[in-house]
Structure 1
Amino acid sequence: MQDRREVEWQLEAPDPGRLAARLEALVAEGALLPPRRRRIADLYLDTADWRLHRAGYALRLRSAGGRAEATMKSLAARGGDGLRDRREISEPLPGPDARLMRGAVGRRVRALAGRRRLRTLFRVETERASYAIPLDGERAGTLELDASRILAGDAAALLRRVEVEAAPGVPARELEGFVRRLREEAGLAPAGLSKYEAGLRAAGLAPPGPPDLGSEEPGPSPTLGELAFAALRAQMRRFLAHEPGTRLGEDPEELHDMRVACRRLRAALRIFEEALPARAGRFRRELGWVGGMLGEVRDLDVLLGMAEGWVASAPPEDRPPLLELRRALEGRREEARRRMLRALDSRRYRGFVGEFCAFLRRGPSGRVPGAARPALRAAPGLLREQRRRVRALGDRLGPGSPPEDYHRLRRRARRLRYAVEFFSGLYGRAAEDCVLALKGLQDLLGEHQDAEVAAQTLRRLAREERGLSPEAAFVAGEVSRGCRERARELRKLFPRRYAGAGGRPWRRLRDEMERRVPEG
């Protein structure tokens, strides 16, 4: 298995004869070694709904010299000089069949594609001449001269390409002089398209962009329904945009951002309830189900991030039980990820996405009286109600209050913050300052909840994890107590942060809302 950065220049040769003469001269000079020739057959694949492309990857199955491999390449933007810097993940295969992928590529493809079948997009047959580029007695890179035929059904296209690839560990700057000289002397130009892009064009394929759910701009004087649908569409677009990265599972922030969009959707459906049809309540319940699956993985991501810090700060002799604890947490995360992927692959999830997107495209209903209310008239009451709920709980919290009450307040404060954000386009700086103050409170309560969840998870791990050594179980208990102590320290900081969130910023927003209520 390989997981590396592929750094190469992709160039076109308008004058093949001039290029051939220049390559022959470079071999004679010793600037290139004599070529090695081979035939290559490539298949490019994706699902019918372009799941790999939407995740930022192209999938290629290659046969050459009796060997087969599967490769995922990131869809990197090209530089002005034809330079591309891409991630490339490869695994060897017994044969050129996607069903044989069992390694690093196969795991990623299954996470992204789920139950969707792969289909062939197009085929590329290439005659390749490979020239090694020596530098100070070592191979600095490879120049590859490709003559390719792109085949897609009855369509066919020819592609002639020069690629100069830096060897692993060789900085691109080491080859810049060679490439510059080759371009000048052989009349080469930066390639406008990669082979994948050229294949899509030849096959007449155009991967779709983000779904069009309707306008996300409510206008200067929107109704409550228009504002509600603008907010819901914006969050659903973000939700769907982060699904591929969440499936892939390599960047925890992708899952975090998908979960945040899920939370904002649920909040919007509740805040704008009076402007939405009754069936919107079912979408809120479905988002609660999805959010639960995402949250289970996210909590373990946060805990694993903490574990990295524990291991890094511990003396070497104390690390073995911490490393064992981290491995146990990684196992639990993998189990939670499998449950999450099953949920995302389910008919229930597909049905929710399809129905909710159709709902958003239809827009506000004329049969819902609240949808026609001017947003400037509705906003003060809606925001006051959210703030009342925060104060009803927050005003009576103290250091001795149970952790569950702090978590309940966190959820209410988050909903108030989201509500202010949804209306921020109407109230400008006053709303922005209020959001900033609420974010400070939310961050404190979020850190408190992370500490409480970590403590609970570690206690459960010490009791339930089979095969955990007594030393690791003891460490889990000690770290759990440390997390509980951290939560107590955060509760001491709560009164000042709470007072700051509900003072001057809220009063300024309240005054601005009252000033802008329409007459009549």
Structure 2
Amino acid sequence: MAMRELEAKLTVPDEGAFRALASLTRIGSVRVSWRGCRLQQDTYADTRSLRLLRAGYACRLRHVGHRAFATLKGLGGAAGCLHEREEFEEEVDNPSVGALLRMGEPPGSMVRWLAGDEQVVPLFTLVTLRRLATGSHGPHHCFDVMLDRARFFGPGGEMTLLEVELESVDGDRALLEAAASELRREYGLEASGLSKFERGLRWAGLAPGPLPRTGRGKATD
């Protein structure tokens, strides 16, 4: 299924700020209602020569609970803390490259076309403990709050990232920007111009310089 995603991404400076964010009840005029945690594992894949990346895409295989999803996302440059991108996502039997490539529809068909005659292989894995909340303005559900403790795993070892994301439900860019600004003022957060994919590439030493961009996309996660 093709969709567009609009979200604000902010890095959390330390454990104290992370704990404070976990007990949020309001962001300005928006009520925050926590609804639990989930553990998710993401594996990013490409060819060894990074054909998907060079075409402006990132491929993610996600395992969460008893479900698995394959996603292909367009890359782009963030505007401050705001990231907007197109993505193609479908549920699959298991979060493997084989399951992805057996798909008859996007994203599998697009990955096969972009990869050509090269083998698609895993690049690195990211395990995230995600706390989820609903942001509401009166009775209106305006965005989702995701507080992440993410650990990157690859040949070079491990890296931990603390991050909060506000993902728009209603497409209200101004409200999303205002909420992000409030969090930055109150908790010392910083705008994240990099997606988890881009951070992982740099950490693993795989980023080939400036990343290509596709369409109106403004980063990927």
Say if 2:22 and 2:147, in contact at 8 Å, map to a contact too: no
Distance verdict in 2 for CA 1:27–1:34, change over 3 Å: farther
8 A contact 2:142–2:172 mirrored in 1: no
What is the deviation of 1:30? 7.2
Could you report, residue by residue, the CA deviation over 1:212-231 in whole angstroms, capped at 9, with x for unpaired residues? Answer: xxxxxxxxxxxxxxxxxxxx
Give 3-state SS (helix, strand or coil) of 1:33's partner.
strand
2:116 maps to 114
Please give the alpha-carbon distance, in whole angstroms, between the structure 2 residues aligned to 1:17 and 1:208.
Answer: 34
Contact 2:145–2:164 (CA under 8 A) maintained in structure 1: yes
1:39–1:25 CA distance, 2 compared to 1 (3 A): closer
| Structure with a larger share of its residues in helix | 1
Q: What is residue 381 of structure 1 aligned with on the other side?
A: none
Q: Match for residue 141 of structure 2?
A: 139
1:57 aligned residue: 57
How far residue 208 of structure 1 moved from its aligned partner, in angstroms, is 6.2
Q: Which has the larger radius of gyration?
A: 1
**Structure number with higher strand proportion:** 2
Which residue identity is paired with 2:31?
A
1:177–1:42 distance in 2 versus 1, CA, 3 Å: same
The secondary structure found in structure 1 opposite 2:91 is: strand
Show the counterpart of 2:158: 156
Counterpart CA distance in 2 for 1:48 and 1:100 is 19
* Deviation for aligned residue 1:19: 4.2
Asked if the contact 1:11/1:162 (under 8 Å) is kept, the reply is: yes
- In the TM superposition, what whole-angstrom CA distance separates every residue of 1:104-148 from its partner, at most 9, and x where no partner exists? 101111111122111111000110001111123132111111111
Secondary structure class of the residue paired with 1:45:
strand
Whether contact under 8 Å (2:72, 2:89) holds in the other structure is yes
- How many Å apart are 1:166 and its aligned residue? 0.4
Q: How many residue pairs are counted as aligned between the two chains? A: 210
Structure 1 SS opposite 2:79? coil
Partner of 2:203: 202
Q: Which residue of 1 aligns with 2:23?
A: 24
Are 1:93 and 2:92 an aligned pair? yes
- Preserved contact between residue 69 and residue 95 of structure 2 (Cα < 8 Å): yes
1:127 is aligned, of 126, 129, 134, to 129
Letter in 1 for 2:125: R
**Secondary structure class of the residue paired with 1:31:** strand
Going from structure 1 to structure 2, the CA distance change for 1:209 and 1:198 (only over 3 Å counts) comes to: closer
Alignment partner, residue 218 of structure 2: none
- Asked if the contact 2:8–2:177 (Cα under 8 Å) also holds between the matched residues in 1, the reply is no
Per-residue displacement from partner, 1:435-493 (whole Å, max 9, x unpaired)? xxxxxxxxxxxxxxxxxxxxxxxxxxxxxxxxxxxxxxxxxxxxxxxxxxxxxxxxxxx
Once the 2 structures are TM-superposed, how far is the Cα of residue 154 of structure 1 from its aligned partner?
Answer: 4.0
- Larger relative contact order (CA 8 Å, sep ≥ 6): 2
1:28-39 equivalences in 2 (<5 Å): 31-39=31-39
Task: Give the aligned CA root-mean-square deviation in angstroms.
Answer: 2.4
Cα distance between partner residues in 1 of 2:21 and 2:198:
28
> 2:82 is matched by which residue type in structure 1?
L
CA pair 172-21 structure 1, distance change in 2 beyond 3 A? same
8 Å Cα contact 1:22/1:185 also seen in 2:
no
CA distance in 2, matches of 1:175, 1:159: 22
Aligned to 2:25, what secondary structure does the other structure show?
helix
The CA deviation string for residues 326-365 of structure 1, in whole angstroms up to 9 with x for no partner, is xxxxxxxxxxxxxxxxxxxxxxxxxxxxxxxxxxxxxxxx
CA distance in 1, matches of 2:162, 2:155: 21
Structure 1 residue runs of 5 or longer lacking an equivalent are 211-240, 251-520
Stretches (4+) displaced over 3 A: 27-30
Partner amino acid, structure 1, of 2:184: R
Please report the TM-score for the alignment, with normalisation by the length of structure 1: 0.38
Match of 1:165 among 157, 167, 171: 167
Q: Which runs of 5+ in 2 are unaligned?
A: 216-221
Residue 9 of structure 1 aligns with which residue? 8
**Which letter maps to 2:89?**
S
Give me the whole-angstrom Cα distance separating, in 1, the residues matched to 2:69 and 2:190.
30
Q: Secondary structure at the match of 2:107?
A: helix
Question: Does the 8 Å CA contact 2:45/2:120 hold for their aligned counterparts?
Answer: yes
Q: What SS does structure 1 have at the residue aligned with 2:23?
A: helix
Do the aligned residues in 1 keep the contact of 2:13 with 2:162 (CA within 8 Å)? no
